[in-house]
Structure 1
């Protein structure tokens, strides 16, 4: 048996007729950029998330950049984030001229540790008379918190929001892997992307809500931020050839992608539940093997399993054996960003962020997609157990 890491064939087969129909419509109308399909998707995605606005853009990386700009992060300032994430999280910080400050993750959840954030703010920062927070090591202002809802599990937002409020920090959420995930806060279930001032999403094809190419969006409740991001994504234009902002790029998401995303959005909750069922099948088969560390789902948080990530000993050998047996696996992520050559100028060294480093050495992503069958999961689990010896 062969089990791919991701297989979107069945997902697209479900809606192939609708996809073909809307593509023909767009071609017939020759409305490829902007227009009704973009507006409809933005409206529907905002409603799904529970925000007033959504701004579609070209990628999740662009979404993060727009979100940071929208909350006012700028040159020479610092943003607190985690090293155990895809590099786009940090690329966006540096793209707006800011500097990343890495804090460690919770080793059980793989999310930003509120305790480590508190350690940094209380131990390595000073609060000025005007209330601003300054990193004592770099003498730069610390202005924002950027948690990542990694693998589909929401970060622990209640203590993070409390710290942000206490120290006057903006909060931008990286929800690129967490479409439809939710967190209970003050008795209310809220979806990821809606806790801070802005939330960034990716619609890369393999994501829980994926386009037929690249795509992203930012959600927010603030009208001014919505308007600013619409300017920036379209060359700083308020109308054609009227440029009111020098901060402008081509970050528009095309009509075809928005039309397909609208079709998929209607099925997102159903597909997320299928992912959760597949995760349960994995748990039933692997929970008694103490060599395997399974993902956790703390109370009050709904995991949507963009990835099903385990930790195993002898990861390299296990990965090779699974591949030999026809099973697709991934590594998310094998090198913590604070140890990447691209960020060596920040001065981090091995041992500085031990939880992130330990996780990076043992992490293994097993096949996960909505139409994964119980038979396929059973084969993966039997092969994994055998590979561990």
Structure 2
């Protein structure tokens, strides 16, 4: 049996008529750049997340670069974040000549270890970028308390966290990205809410930050050919907005299906002594964008899965502090031991709403077969 790590075709075939109509409507009307569907999507995201403002941009990476600029993460300032993440979460700091300051991760959640943040804060620290990774959010209560105490800005990298909500010590759940000064989403095709190409979104509750963001995405213009800033060209494609509007209607159902799949994996792998399944910390609503395990003999297991036509991914094989592009920071092996250890054991298994229980059974039986050899 072949099990893809991810496929978009099952969802497309299930909702083919809706997707086709959405895309053809855009083509028929010919409004391809910031067309009406972009505005509709922004309004829908505001309603779904509870954020006051939502500004659509071309990608999650663009969203990080723009928000880092807006929040002053530049010109030699220090910004605290995690080394265990995708490049864009830290390159957005470096692109503006700010300095990434890494804090190791919590070994149970893979999110930034909030108990180690304060020791890295200096008089030159401008902010914190917590990354809500894989299935759950970082501890936003502690992060926001530290930000208030030290007068720091908080940029939530919620690229993988659409649908996740944090309650913590609050009276109600708050959607990822809506707690800090600004938050970003990626709508890369594999994401929980994924487009059919690159797409991103910035959310904030601050009127002035939203106003500047809207200008920066169109070259810094307040109105056409009237430039307030040196900005960016980062406008969400109208076709992608149309696709996302279709998917957003089914988002809660999609999230629930992911939870069911995650529970299948947990049930079937819970007694495998060679596997560790990460736990959820804090009062929050998780979303299983990715289902990770920590596996003994990870690389050998990955090769065995490949032999049996089972897709997988490794997020992330090399922490950022050991990547060549950040060698100028002067880090060495052993500086962030939890990130380094996890990077050698972590393995992501196939999870998406359309995967079948039979396919999950095959994945789990193949894993058990590997360890019984």
1:166 to 142, 149, 158: 149
Q: Distance between the aligned counterparts of 1:84 and 1:205, measured in 2?
A: 22
Q: Which residue of 2 aligns with 1:270?
A: 253
> 1:201: which partner in 2?
185
- Corresponding residue for 1:333? 316
1:287 corresponds in structure 2 to 270
Q: Is the 8 A contact 1:78 1:100 kept in 2?
A: yes
Q: How does 1:22-101 map to 2 (within 5 A)?
A: 22-101=22-101
Instruction: Give the counterpart of 1:342 among 315, 325, 329.
Output: 325
Q: Aligned equivalents of 2:280 and 2:232: distance in 1?
A: 39
Q: Which residue of structure 2 aligns with residue 213 of structure 1?
A: 197
CA distance in 2, matches of 1:259, 1:211: 9
8 A Cα contact 1:295 1:308, kept in partner: no
- Which range is displaced more, 232-241 or 69-78? 69-78
What is the alpha-carbon distance in structure 2 between the residues aligned to residue 148 and residue 113 of structure 1? Answer: 11
Task: Measure, in 2, the Cα distance between the counterparts of 1:45 and 1:27.
Answer: 23
Structure 1 position 46, deviation (Å): 1.5
Deviations 1:192-243 (A, max 9, x none): 1111000011010010011110010100011111111111111111222122
Residue of structure 2 equivalent to 1:156? 139
Matched with 1:238 is 222
SS at match of 2:335: coil
Q: Secondary structure at the match of 1:387?
A: helix
SS at match of 2:293: strand
Inter-partner Cα distance in structure 2 for 1:388 and 1:221: 50
Unaligned 5+ residue runs, structure 1? Answer: 126-133, 135-140
Alignment: residue pair count: 371
Runs of 4+ in structure 1 off by over 2 angstroms are 69-74, 118-121
Deviations 1:163-184 (A, max 9, x none): 1111111110000111101111
1:302 aligns to what? 285
Please give the alpha-carbon distance, in whole angstroms, between the structure 2 residues aligned to 1:191 and 1:12. 27
2:10 corresponding residue in structure 1: 10
Q: Distance in 2 between matches of 1:388 and 1:303?
A: 29
Paired residue secondary structure (1:152): coil
- Could you list the per-position Cα deviations for residues 110-145 of structure 1 after superposition, in whole angstroms to 9, with x for gaps in the alignment? 001011112323xxx3xxxxxxxx2xxxxxx10100
Residue equivalent to 1:192: 176
SS at match of 2:343: helix
Q: 1:4-53 deviations in whole A, cap 9, x for unaligned? A: 10122221223221111122211111111113111110111111111011
Give the structure-2-normalised TM-score.
0.97
Asked if structure 2 preserves the Cα contact closer than 8 Å seen for 1:63 and 1:218, the reply is: yes
Structure 1 position 152, deviation (Å): 2.7
Could you tell me whether the CA contact under 8 Å between 1:172 and 1:198 is conserved in 2?
A: yes
SS at match of 2:2: coil
How far apart are residue 299 of structure 1 and its match? 4.4
Assess if the C-alpha contact under 8 Å between 2:161 and 2:289 holds in 1: yes
5+ long unaligned stretches in structure 2 = none
What's the CA shift string for 1:216-272, capped at 9, x where partnerless? 0100011111111111111111222122212x1210111111111111111111101
Q: Does the 8 Å CA contact 2:31/2:238 hold for their aligned counterparts?
A: yes
Q: Distance in 2 between matches of 1:14 and 1:53?
A: 32
Asked if structure 2 preserves the Cα contact closer than 8 Å seen for 1:177 and 1:202, the reply is: yes
User: Is the Cα contact below 8 Å between 2:46 and 2:53 reproduced in 1?
Assistant: yes
Say if 1:8 and 1:369, in contact at 8 Å, map to a contact too: no
> 1:62-94 CA distances to partner (integer Å, 9 max, x unpaired)?
011122223232211111000000001011111
Determine the C-alpha separation between the residues in 1 that align with 2:59 and 2:44. 18
- TM-score, length-scaled by structure 1: 0.93
Paired position in structure 1 for 2:348:
365
